[in-house]
């Protein structure tokens, strides 16, 4: 991966931000890889339902395939900071089908100053979002409301066909799967959010019946729902 700076004399903020891009790219790649592995073990049903509205075979296959494509492109991507078309409200952007870079036509993610100001989790979400736009995944920002957790959750609920093509849905899905059960008291049978751990990190304990088929009298773990999310049905087995 080659880092490109747009200006000969950069501000100190931009320089230190750009210096961390390589590490962020590696971490985003590790996030995506760990989620692919969890999907194959049926461990992301809660988040898959939340961000894509479905957890069937087709959805799992498509999610895995998009994640693998993101993983691939992150291995060869280049970054430029700031991009010439940045605005104060842009985290980053890409030219999806273009071969716009400098010498050899590689794929470029343009980062903006806003990216530098946000916390690490949002930086990684930005990289995954922009990575999803590039080929071979070529995901879109599905109008009219492609951005933000709330609109993406609504999209998953109302229109799963759109959610599976929307870049932001993928970045939140990945971030949430990675954060799930990172609480030090995860899977101890008690919900420790928000007292001992932050929200979204004690997922299994806090959502004992979040499986969409909870309370139907049949244990749906682990095939249809993540282990620990169909607790009532699986206890009375």
By CB under 5 A, which span of 13-21, 55-63, 78-86, 163-171 interacts with Zn ion?
163-171
* Residue 183 in tokens: 């609480």
Q: Footprint of Zn ion on residues 98-127 (CB under 5 A)? A: none
Judged by CB, which is closer to Zn ion: 136, or 189?
136
Among 122, 141, 145, 209, binds Zn ion (CB under 5 A): 141
Q: Which residues sit opposite 108 in a β-bridge?
A: 78
Judged by CB, which is closer to Zn ion: 132, or 211?
132
d(CA 79, CA 96): 14
Judged by CB, which is closer to Zn ion: 144, or 217?
144
Strands of the sheet with 108-111, listed across from one edge: 3-5, 78-81, 108-111, 92-93
- The label of the residue with tokens 């088929």 reads 213
* b/e 69-89 (16+ beta carbons within 10 angstroms → b): bbbbbbeebbbbbbbeebeee
Residue nearest to Zn ion (CB): 141
Q: Is 167 in the site for Zn ion (CB under 5 A)?
A: yes
Judged by CB, which is closer to Zn ion: 132, or 183?
132
State the nearest-atom distance from the C-beta of 175 to Zn ion, in Å. 15
Binding-site ranges for Zn ion (CB under 5 A) = 141, 167
């Amino acid at each position: 991966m080659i880092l490109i700076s747009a200006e000969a004399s950069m501000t100190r903020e931009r320089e230190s931000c750009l210096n961390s891009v390589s590490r962020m790219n590696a971490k985003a790649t590790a996030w995506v890889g760990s989620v692919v592995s969890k999907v194959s073990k049926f461990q992301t049903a809660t988040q898959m339902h939340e961000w894509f509205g479905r957890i069937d075979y087709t959805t799992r296959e498509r999610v895995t395939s998009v994640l693998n494509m993101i993983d691939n492109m992150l291995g060869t991507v280049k970054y430029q900071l700031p991009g010439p078309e940045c605005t104060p409200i842009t985290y980053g952007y890409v030219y999806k089908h273009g071969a716009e870079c400098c010498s050899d036509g590689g794929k470029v993610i343009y980062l903006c100053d806003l990216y530098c100001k946000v916390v690490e989790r949002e930086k990684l979400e930005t990289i995954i979002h922009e990575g999803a736009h590039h080929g071979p995944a070529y995901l879109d920002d599905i109008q009219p409301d492609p951005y933000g957790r709330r609109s993406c959750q609504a999209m998953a609920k109302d229109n799963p066909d759109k959610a599976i093509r929307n870049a932001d849905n993928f970045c939140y899905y990945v971030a949430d799967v990675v954060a799930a059960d990172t609480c030090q008291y995860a899977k101890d049978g008690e919900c420790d959010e928000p007292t001992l751990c932050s929200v979204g990190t004690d997922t299994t304990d806090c959502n004992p019946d979040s499986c969409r088929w909870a309370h139907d009298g049949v244990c749906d773990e682990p095939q249809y729902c993540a282990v620990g999310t169909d607790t009532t049905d699986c206890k009375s087995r």
